[in-house]
Structure 1
Amino acid sequence: MSLPNEKKLNHLLRDWPSEAVVVTSWLNDQGYSNQLLNRYKKSAWIESLGTGALIKTGDKVGYEGAVYALQNQLNLSVHPGGRTALSLLGKAHYLELSQTKVDLFGDTFETLPGWCENRDWGVKLAYHKSNFLPGNIGLTDLELKSFSIKVSSAARAMMECLYLAKTNPQIIECYELMEGMNNLRPGSVQQLLNQCNSVKVKRLFLYMAEKAEHSWVQHLVVEQIDMGKGKRSLTKNGSYVSKYQITVPKELEEHGKQNL
């Protein structure tokens, strides 16, 4: 290998975070031709993860390493959200200790590349395309061993959980998660609710936060939030909550009343 190419290789390996995916197109933009990358592969410095993606030889790369590449090299808004984000942030202690499914959220026009979607990461990737929240708000940096990724903040993750909730058990589980949200920042919650376009999520979020008696609810300016019009039934044969015009599971509405 020529000296210039050896220097480029040293530079590449030095700046390549451990356990992270690097996208071929991004490397091309950095001056690494496909021909040069093929030489590195033949010399066993790097290896293909799939078409268009590479890892350092010997690295054990998890889905987090894929998210790193999606965010930092492909500039996608794809991020761990919902239950996954709450677990990563330590906000979901009662959830299973070992993750079997990872919830990723991205904008409606964003698609996971084949190397990401088809790879066996040891967990099931559940990718949710949505625009009920803007992709650039309510995110926080999560520091990992050698790199950081953006994940949903606790408030945004809670709203993502509500967005996905379809069944009574899922709705009740969301409330159990909400009970632990006692230290959310009102300003962040306000911004998310103001820009959320899901009436179901906004009404459920406020209903649950109020039911859980969180003090930060008092600092929200509910008049600024578009709550939509008309009733929303989230379950059959449930209890109607007139303040928020929603029908919720009876066991949720009755939760805590037996202690009064």
Structure 2
Amino acid sequence: MQRLMGYDVHVGGKTALATHGLVHYLSFRGDELVYLYGKPPAWLKRLPDADRYMTRTRSLFGGKMIGVDNVAISSETADEDLAVSHGRWSLTVSSLERAVLELLDELPDHESFHIADMAFESLSGVRPAKMQAMLEACKSIKVKRLFFVFADRHNHAWRKYLEMDRIDLGSGPRALVEGGKFHPDYRISVPAEYLPRQERDDGA
């Protein structure tokens, strides 16, 4: 679709995270969903395994292609579904920083808090300046608040370099999870186990 047919589509979300090496953390198997962003061809829905392909617009970033890169894929190391006959090829895919925000956009209906938590556990390689730019460009208050819920929970070295005063987190509470608890800092409802430790202990 990308190279031979010229369709305006990129791989994103959990699928992109897998291409960046998080495959083991996310239990990515051959039957997993494939997340595609942009304008895929209509015939995609007619493929025998069409239900594997989750198509999304780029509205999360206002249609902008910020944070989308060309990644070299080797047929020697690629997933079986990505393997090709020649040695290397490139895939247009969300950067690590964009992909994790695309993943959060799927919560709670299409992805789980557990998957997001596992992804954040392994996000030591995030580039602070790139992440800052992605957060400033992101249009979803839900996604940005969830990002900081998980970022604070795992507290990687890059967290302290993010300038929160430049990121619009909106105002007022956001109900996201039925029966969840409101995070004291980011005012979005999450499962109780994702509250700060002090809040969990006080509620026990």
Q: Pick the TM interval, shorter chain.
A: 0.7 to 0.9
> Which amino acid is the alignment partner of residue 225 of structure 1?
I
Per the alignment, residue 103 of structure 1 pairs with 35
Per the alignment, residue 132 of structure 1 pairs with 60
Contact 2:153–2:196 under 8 Å retained in 1 = no
User: Residue 183 in 1 paired to residue 115 in 2?
Assistant: no
TM-fit CA distance, 1:131: 0.6
- Structure 2 residue aligned with 1:141, among 70, 74, 87? 70
Per the alignment, residue 118 of structure 1 pairs with 46
Go from structure 1 to structure 2 and tell me whether the alpha carbon gap of 1:223 and 1:243 turns closer, same or farther (over 3 Å shift): same
Identity %: 29
| Greater relative CO (CA pairs within 8 A, separation 6+) | 2
- Segments of 5+ residues of structure 2 without an aligned counterpart are 74-86
RMSD: 2.5
Per the alignment, residue 243 of structure 1 pairs with 185
User: Residue 154 in 1 paired to residue 96 in 2?
Assistant: yes
The within-5 A match list for 1:1-260 is: 66-69=1-4, 73-74=6-7, 76=8, 78-94=9-25, 95-106=27-38, 110=39, 112-120=40-48, 124-133=52-61, 134-144=63-73, 145-167=87-109, 170-253=112-195
> Which amino acid is the alignment partner of residue 239 of structure 1?
K
Contact 1:86–1:92 under 8 Å retained in 2 = yes
Contact 2:128–2:159 under 8 Å retained in 1 = yes
Q: SS of the counterpart of 2:59?
A: coil
Contact 2:136–2:166 under 8 Å retained in 1 = yes
TM-score normalised to structure 2 length: 0.80
Q: SS of the counterpart of 1:148?
A: strand
2 CA distance for matches of 1:168 and 1:128?
12
- Segments of 5+ residues of structure 1 without an aligned counterpart are 1-65
2 CA distance for matches of 1:161 and 1:185?
17
Q: SS of the counterpart of 2:182?
A: strand
Per the alignment, residue 78 of structure 2 pairs with none
1 CA distance for matches of 2:53 and 2:158?
33
Contact 1:141–1:151 under 8 Å retained in 2 = yes
Tell which structure's C-alpha radius of gyration is larger. Answer: 1
1 CA distance for matches of 2:134 and 2:120?
16
TM-score normalised to structure 1 length: 0.64
Contact 2:103–2:111 under 8 Å retained in 1 = no
TM-fit CA distance, 1:230: 0.9
Go from structure 1 to structure 2 and tell me whether the alpha carbon gap of 1:115 and 1:240 turns closer, same or farther (over 3 Å shift): closer
2 CA distance for matches of 1:159 and 1:205?
7
Contact 1:142–1:151 under 8 Å retained in 2 = yes
Q: SS of the counterpart of 1:86?
A: helix
